[in-house]
Amino acid sequence: MDSEALRKFSALHPRPAGLTLHYGTAGFRSAAQQLDHVVFRMGLLAALRSKAVTATIGIMVTASHNPEEDNGVKLVDPLGEMLHPSWEEYATQLANAEEQELQKVITEICQKAAVNLHKDASVFIGRDTRPSSKKLSQSVIDGVQVLGGQYHDYGLVTTPQLHYMVCCQNTQGQYGKATLEGYYEKLSKAFMELIKQSHCSGEFQRYLKIDCANGVGALKLSEMKPYFPQEVLIHIYNDGTKEKLNHLCGADFVKVHQKPPGGLDMKPNERCCSFDGDADRIVYYYKDTAGHFHLIDGDKIATLISIFLKELLAKVKQNFKMAVVQTAYANGNSTRYLQETLKVPVHCVKTGVKHLHHKAQEFDVGVYFEANGHGTVLFSKAAETKIRQLVKEEKDNEKREAAKMLENMIDLINQTVGDAVSDMLVIEAILALKGLSVQQWDALYTDLPNRLLKVQVADRRVIDTTDAERRALTPPGLQEKIDALVKKYKLSRAFVRPSGTEDVVRIYAEADTQENADALAHEVSLAVFHLAGGKGAPPQP
């Protein structure tokens, strides 16, 4: 390690006094002007991680659905997955180290993680469209180079595209070509192959309005347009030429406010969808003839995909194990529909993509989506090999056709991470193949009315949960109180969990009517306020 170079470059990216940041599920996120030292140091960490695992590591500069003034950075592990939890701790240590301690912290990481500094390092870098992203990604490059690493700067890409490239690189091209063209070609080819198998191709016409949150998704979708067949008519709104990133638009805005984004005019029964700022989440929606807004969130997306996959798996007659993975936030009626009507096993895990992804890996076919629209499908190596073999060797026509569809689904889905572009193409293909309108999709089940609230507390750590965050262990008496409140309402449930980032407790309640869901949420929030050290005035109904 060149101590002189480290000292010199570190001085160019000084750490503001008194600032402490933590690496969470989404990496680091903060106001952009506070991040220069962090991204420089994550360049260092990516080089160390690459040397430790002898593989290419990704670094994405983005703050996803946060306001444009913010930014963030996250690392991507060799197969396109999120950074290993033990390295999240190293990231936090390195980001918060005093300048003069930097070399010592690096040496400690090298000892703990058995990093050989003489090995080569390779890092792929991507960024979103925020005004601060270009300069920050230059700071990442400084960090990588100080430790003698090689880098490839992809410039403006969606977060899932960077995950995809890293996976392609480390599987020596088995997953695909590590270029944007490779990504567009693989997805569009699989999509067109699927659509070809659609029987209603005569009146086949896919007209879709897409709100791109004024983010990088608009640029990449425009680049991909020439790869689509004539029948696919996509209209891009909020393309970033006029308005600010994520301002009154994007998947997060639509999901939270339950209303259409600005900058998109909706006619009755038109299919519309929204990406978030870095295009790793998607939600669909439409307006009915009475002018009512209908949101189709991650739960309903998972349900549609599950119906389709379950039918195909039944046709290929293999003993594949399929399951859906949800969090406690999934609507109760989606869980009921999956378990009781579709007869698909459902597993509940703690909030956070890494928990969902990890659980989904246990099955031959694991479907996971968060209600916010972030999700994907994972196929086990064994299932994928078997499906590809059936396509080549199966004599029975129906079986072979079903296997072919599954093979195209495997190629169309970005298995590394939730990907709005890939998920959108999967949904569009399924709707076409099943001849479903957006209203018919929405009518699969009706969401139970629900309410999300938050209560400020002095210290969020007083709340400890179990059973995938559905039950509170501490403070004493809180869970008993919630159980008693839930008994008052029909089809009801409620849970509380501490926020991962701030001293607030999040409350979720659902019941048979909106009035009851609101009342239950309010009563639970009062219980949290009184038993878990609420701050300020008690919650008002």
Across the range 149-171, mean pLDDT stands at 98
Q: ∠ CA 51-56-57 to the nearest 5 degrees?
A: 85
Annotated binding-site positions for Mg(2+): 64, 276, 278, 280
pLDDT in tens, 195-237: 887 765 444 457 899 999 999 999 999 999 999 877 788 999 9
CATH of 186-296 given 1.10.10, 3.40.120, 3.40.1350, 3.30.70? 3.40.120
Q: What is the mean pLDDT of the chain?
A: 95
Q: Where are the domain boundaries for CATH 3.40.120.10 in the chain?
A: 3-156
Residue 19 in this model has a pLDDT that exceeds 60: yes
Across the range 315-319, mean pLDDT stands at 94
pLDDT for the residue numbered 198:
73
Residue with token string 């919650």: 539
Report percent pLDDT > 70 for the chain. 99
pLDDT for the residue numbered 448:
95
- Of 43, 105, 46, which Cα lies nearest the Cα of 77? 46
Rg (CA), the chain: 24
Residue 382: count other Cβ atoms within 10 Å of its Cβ. 11
pLDDT for the residue numbered 205:
58
CATH superfamily of 450-532: Alpha-D-phosphohexomutase, C-terminal domain (3.30.310.50)
pLDDT in tens, 267-311: 999 999 999 999 999 999 999 999 999 999 999 999 999 999 999
Provide CATH code, domain 3-156: 3.40.120.10
User: Which span out of 199-213, 369-383, 499-513 was modeled with the highest average pLDDT?
Assistant: 369-383
> 262: which 2 tokens?
């600005």
What is the torsion angle, in degrees rounded to the nearest 10, for the CA atoms of residue 234, residue 259, residue 61 and residue 279? -30
- Of 251, 187, 229, which Cα lies nearest the Cα of 416? 187
Residue 486 in this model has a pLDDT that exceeds 60: yes
Query: 333: Cβ–Cβ under 8 A, 6 or more apart, which residues?
Result: 445, 446, 447, 448
pLDDT for the residue numbered 199:
64
How far apart are alpha carbons 356 and 348 in whole angstroms?
A: 8
461 CB burial (10 A radius; 0-12, 13-18, 19+): exposed
pLDDT for the residue numbered 474:
95
Query: 537: Cβ–Cβ under 8 A, 6 or more apart, which residues?
Result: none
Residue 346: count other Cβ atoms within 10 Å of its Cβ. 19
pLDDT in tens, 411-437: 999 999 999 999 999 999 999 999 999
Positions marked active-site: 64
pLDDT for the residue numbered 203:
47
pLDDT for the residue numbered 202:
44
Q: Where are the domain boundaries for CATH 3.30.310.50 in the chain?
A: 450-532
**What DSSP character marks residue 391?**
H
pLDDT in tens, 388-403: 999 999 999 999 999 9
pLDDT in tens, 102-146: 999 999 999 999 999 999 999 999 999 999 999 999 999 999 999
Q: Does domain 298-418 have CATH number 3.40.120?
A: yes
CB-CB contact of 376 with 418 (8 Å): yes
